Chains A and B, each alone.
Chain A
Amino acid sequence: MTSSHDELRELVAAYSLDALEPAETAEVAEHLAGCAECRAELRELRTIAGQLGTSDTAPPTGLWDRISEELVDDPPTPIASAKRGRSRRWVALAVAAAIVAIVGLGVLVINQQRRLDDAHREIAAQVEGQGAVERAARAAAAAPGSRQVALVSPQGDAVADVVIASTDEAYVIPRSMRPLGSGETYQLWGKHGSQLISLGVLGSRPTATLLSLPSGIEAIAVTVEDAPGVVTSHHTPIAGGSVA
């Protein structure tokens, strides 16, 4: 059965309370994936539902310890695309399509946020100074065994270079990254299998930056995000490059 927007919209309130039958839930979820208006309504209704359910209950004593123990045995793994809901998948697909266009890789891309190690950045930026990072980056580029990846825009402009010295030592060297507004930041993403992992937030006026690159990164892309960076990107990368 195919229902109209109006018919489905009638069901969004019940959907926000998990009060639909499974077939209707699936139909509404599918509609939501393609309807920004209904998604906006759902967002508001879910906030209201959350307010109905919220409380300042104290959780049972010892519950955190039991959760924490499970974490030790079950280290975090980046999510697989198959687990994601339909409404998220279109976003992931849009990002995937953009990356594919840039780096020519045809795998579904999922975002996972990783942020630059703050300590790394502080040491790099404050103790040694930016000039030192730049010099270290140039030295790394000249060292035997290092690799260099050009991040290129769809127009063919070299936006930045990434110098990979080792897993713990990689540098991004901006080449033509225009200054952004203060509410925006450049963010660097690494493609690893079917996932897109954030490699770091570069700020609105990027300078040479030290980052750690998880092993197995196949491609790198840059997006422009709202400061201070995002967990999940909804934006098309402005540039990318393959780490082959």
Chain B
Amino acid sequence: MASRGARSRGLPEGASDTALMMEVSRSNEAALEAIYRRHGGAVYGLANRMLSENGIAEEITQEIFLRLWQEPARFDPERGSLRTFLLTSAHSRAVDKIRADTARRRREDRDHREDPGRDRVTPLEDEVASLIVGDEVRAAVEGLPADEREAIGLAYFGGYSYRQVAEMLGTPEGTVKSRIRHGMQSLRALLAQSTGVEEGSAT
């Protein structure tokens, strides 16, 4: 345990995410733990909403934080906040798992070809908002046209590609692509001022 102690130097109270990341890249475990306390729940919560199978969200959270420890320079503050980076990483890992799992099931059991969403969240347009935690973001999403909300919800929380969404809804691919684009642009316009969930404010 002595070596553990050596890795944990004191941290200033309320250190910014960027300052904590600098400490992580100096192998300061206390800094990684502080980041975990700040953002680990959000990482876990996202993976858990996307994947219904027990244990996978935990596995993804573990992977994300180990990778942050091993490759801290992958986080580039110029490309967004640490929370966005972690959630982007968690989302992309969850999508990988969903797609790998779907492909495996298709190989194993042709019956599931008709049911690609059996083991994942498949939010219909009226349920998307219930998956969103922040009041302001939820209100913005509820304000979107139903078809845009549905396309974004299936893509983001369901982990479906826009082509799969088009197939599921029986809608042309180009239409789904535009709904995603238009919906995201609207959210950007609505939420541009509210970066309250960003760096440092979460405790």
User: Which chain A residues have a beta carbon within 8 Å of chain B's beta carbons?
Assistant: 10-11, 13-14, 16-21, 39, 43-60, 63-64, 66-68, 70-72, 74-79, 83-84, 88, 110-115, 118-119, 198, 228-232, 234
Contacts and interface: CB of A to CB of B under 8 A. Distances in A.
A77 B70 contact: yes
B155 interface: yes
A50 B39 CA distance: 12
B197 A50 contact: yes
A43 B42 contact: no
B91 A54 contact: no
B59 to A, nearest CB: 10
Contacts of A68: 4, 29, 33
Interface in B129-145: 132-134, 137, 141
B73 A110 contact: yes
Contacts of B33: 64, 68
Interface in B65-98: 65-66, 69-81, 83-84, 87-88, 90-92, 95
Contact of A76 (B27, B62, B157): B27
A144 B180 CA distance: 68
Contacts of A111: 73
A168 to B, nearest CB: 14
Q: Which of A21, A48, A77, A79 has the most CB of B within 10 A?
A: A48
B8 to A, nearest CB: 10
B41 A57 contact: yes
B196 to A, nearest CB: 9
12 contacts: A18-B91, A19-B160, A19-B165, A43-B79, A50-B83, A57-B45, A63-B40, A77-B70, A78-B73, A113-B25, A231-B22, A231-B75
B184 interface: yes
B62 A51 contact: no
Contacts of B56: none
Contacts of B61: 59, 63, 67
A83 B72 CA distance: 12
B46 interface: yes
Interface string B4-41: 10000100000000110111011101001100110011
A54 B75 contact: no
A30 to B, nearest CB: 17
A10 B44 contact: no
A20 B181 CA distance: 12
A231 B16 CA distance: 13
Given A52-B187, A63-B44, A234-B78, 18 more contacts: A10-B177, A20-B161, A39-B79, A45-B184, A45-B188, A52-B137, A52-B156, A53-B45, A54-B87, A54-B133, A55-B45, A57-B41, A57-B133, A63-B40, A63-B62, A74-B70, A231-B75, A231-B77
B73 A17 contact: no
A50 B84 contact: yes
B163 interface: yes
B155 A17 contact: yes
B148 to A, nearest CB: 11
B73 A79 contact: yes
A50 B87 contact: yes
B181 A55 contact: no
A57 to B, nearest CB: 3
B104 to A, nearest CB: 16
Given A54-B133, A112-B73, A115-B26, A64 B46 contact: no
Q: Which of A55, A58, A74 has the most CB of B within 10 A?
A: A55
Contact of B48 (A43, A51, A57, A70): A57
A228 B177 contact: no
Contacts of B26: 113-115
A12 B70 CA distance: 29
Interface string B174-201: 0001001100110110011011011000
Contacts of B21: 113, 231
A19 B98 CA distance: 12
Contacts of B70: 74, 76-77, 79
A159 to B, nearest CB: 24
